[in-house]
Amino acid sequence: MKLYTIRRRNAWKNAEELQCTAEISARVGNEDMPDKVRWIRSYVVHESDGTLGTVCIYQAISPEAIREHASCVGMPADEITEVADTVVIRPDPEPALAAQG
């Protein structure tokens, strides 16, 4: 499997809607497509129109498998880009610490 970033723009009105989609996404990936896609993590971003979007990190056999997963879940996959390398300067902060700024 290769590593990909997926940009999902303006996809959710609020955190509750995003959480519902995340639960479906995890179930579809883990139960229906475990040999095709693996959700690693997501970063939730505020879009300029007030909606929420995400930048997701997935392992997948192909961009087509990511599109299939997104279609099954009912969410966008606006941009899919293969990751060339990973450079970690610091680990991601814990969510509680990140919220404190």
Do 21 and 73 form a contact (C-beta atoms < 8 A)? Answer: yes
Do 4 and 81 form a contact (C-beta atoms < 8 A)? Answer: yes
The C-alpha atoms of residue 21 and residue 57 are separated, in whole angstroms, by 16
Do 53 and 7 form a contact (C-beta atoms < 8 A)? Answer: yes
CA nearest neighbour of 31 among 42, 39, 19, 43: 39
Q: Give the CATH number, domain containing residue 21.
A: 3.30.70.3090
| pLDDT for the residue 99 | 53
Do 49 and 42 form a contact (C-beta atoms < 8 A)? Answer: no
Which residues of the chain carry a pLDDT beneath 50? 101
pLDDT tens per residue across span 41-67: 999 999 999 999 999 999 999 999 999
Domains of the chain: total: 1
- The whole domain housing 12 covers 2-100
| pLDDT for the residue 95 | 73
